[in-house]
Amino acid sequence: MTDWTTHTARARAWFESLRDRICAEFESIEREAGSDAAFSYTPWQREHHGEPVENGGGGVQGLMKGKVFEKVGVNVSTVHGAFSPEFARTINGADPENPEFTATGISLVAHMANPHVPAVHMNTRFLTTRKAWFGGGGDLNPPLPYEQDTADFHARFKAACDAHDPAYHPRFKAWADDYFFIPHRKVHRGVGGIFYDHLECADDAAFEANFAFTRDVGEAFLDVYPRLVRRRMNQPFDAREELQMLEWRGRYAEFNLVHDRGTLFGLKTGGNIDAILMSLPPRAVWS
């Protein structure tokens, strides 16, 4: 019999270890730029109508504002509870009559000070309802796109996918292209990446396979994104390029507030508001 409590604990430990390694790497980049910026960590507990939920879980919001990373959030959370009957109907495996759930995951968004450095989003997660599954991905969001950066980002995630199933990358790349689209603007949020969801774990063997893939997605991100940052972070930029970045950030904010599933999930399950909205840029303009 599958022990989902143990599997959730294993996934949580991995997400926390990945966070620690990502944050250490980002702080190293700040040191290379002559900055002493470091992450601050704020724990939070799941609430309902402003009151802590007993055994509801919570998380830790990691936030850094530096010379290279104008604002970067790396959050890990593990929450338990019950969906509202209406929201349960939108969640894989959730039953309005038995809407219990557990969710653990890591979520990262980085907005960069230099418009030549691409912003980025990455998250991976493990959820249990009546079913259990992994989801996640990563996508690159450059205000000033470079073909080399885009190619390197896609190639690294393709390698991670191909190690598990050659069908994964074309499927998950197309899913990202479809998901990270702003319908009211009729433009994509960035240059894509991969997005996957509902990799179901019907038994222990499926859990191990999907957990291994999810770990490789995290490793791919940690390998490729710092390389892109170091490649571009010292390039000069002018006021016109900075304005282009700020206008692009406005589009990013629109997507996350109107269309992003993760934002909605956090708001519907009593998550920490600051952690949920850490994806919003520190500055943006609408022309």
* Amino acid letter for position 127: L
136: left (phi over 0), alpha (psi -120 to 50) or beta: left
Tokens representing 219? Answer: 């490793």
Q: d(Cα 144, Cα 245) in Å, to the nearest integer?
A: 8
Residue 92 to residues 151, 156, 170, 194, 268: CA-CA distances in angstroms? 33, 29, 23, 20, 15
Q: What angle do CA 124, 127, 133 make, to 5 degrees?
A: 80
Of 98, 32, 93, 29, nearest to 64 by C-alpha is 29
End-to-end CA distance of the chain: 57
Catalytic residue among 7, 80, 111, 121: 121
Question: Is residue 106 a contact partner of residue 142, using CB atoms and an 8 Å limit?
Answer: no
Q: d(Cα 157, Cα 225) in Å, to the nearest integer?
A: 11
Q: d(Cα 78, Cα 207) in Å, to the nearest integer?
A: 18
* Residue 111 appears among annotated catalytic residues: no
Question: Is residue 279 a contact partner of residue 259, using CB atoms and an 8 Å limit?
Answer: no
Residues whose CB falls within 8 Å of the CB of residue 212, separated by 6 or more in sequence, listed in order: 164
- Active-site positions? 121
